[in-house]
Chain A
Amino acid sequence: MINRLTDTLNFQAEALVLRSERQRLIASNIANADTPGYVARDMDFATALRQATGQAGTPGRLAATAPGHLSPPAGARGEAGLRYAAASQTNLDRNTVDMDRERASFADNSVKYEATLRFINGSVRTMLDAIKGQSS
């Protein structure tokens, strides 16, 4: 019964975790903007979210198909959602970080992180209102 209250939050919670992971990825790219040979990475957010919420087959998941296989720890996720960025302009030091793209992704991800936070806040407030009723 109680998980019916929290089930609606799960989707947004997964989205929030993925958003913060993407924020970390973009921060890594910005940090390595001057590192020779660094290849920028980014997340295919839609696919990652579909995998995290179990709405799609998860190619990155480990399956124990033989008795000798180790079972993955709980909550472990494959890196299937991570992609490497191609260089938008050729560089002598083979660094593929495009600062304009990274800054845009960073702003985009920050706003969407905040949006997810607001969705969660909204659900929590709705739930609290339902619990309290109109008595106050």
Chain B
Amino acid sequence: MSMFQVFNISGSAVSAQSQRLNVVASNLANADTVAGPDGSAYKARQVVFQTELMGAAGAAGVRVSTVSESDAAGRRVHDPKHPSADAEGYVTFSNVNAVEEMVNMISASRSYQNNVEVMNTAKVLLQKTLQLGS
């Protein structure tokens, strides 16, 4: 019964999207983190999605293959009074771009909703199939 596989497929997508949402949350939480004593601040993270084949032909779920770190330069602000300022008076913040993260968050939440709706429809159709002939 291939309809049951819809739950595996959409379930994998939902968990991948929630992991993406998690990463966005960490990025936003660390948007204003300054560099520590080692001079490197928090680096923005991104999940990388990959198709995961699920047995039968055409059944393809999703999984997060890696979480990559952005190597863009951190935001540098001139603030000599800041305790973490370097010798030239600059403070290095994390390289998180808050606007990008918000866009990412909305995209992840929409995809999540889509997959939940797919599962709901599959559930309704399966229930009707179970009542067949009654």
Contacts and interface: CB of A to CB of B under 8 A. Distances in A.
B128 A110 contact: no
A95 B2 CA distance: 24
Contacts of B107: 34
A28 B60 contact: yes
B132 A82 contact: no
A98 B46 CA distance: 23
A74 B9 CA distance: 26
Q: Is the interface of A mostly helix, strand, loop or mixed?
A: helix
Interface size class of A (residues with CB under 8 A): 20 to 34
B50 A35 contact: yes
Interface in A25-61: 25-28, 30-38, 41, 43
Given A23-B122, A35-B62, A114-B128, A30 B13 contact: yes
Q: Lowest 8 A-B CB distances belong to which pairs?
A: A31-B13, A28-B60, A20-B3, A35-B49, A27-B6, A124-B133, A24-B2, A25-B58
Interface of A: 16-17, 20-21, 23-28, 30-38, 41, 43, 79, 82, 99, 103, 106, 110, 113-114, 117, 120-121, 124
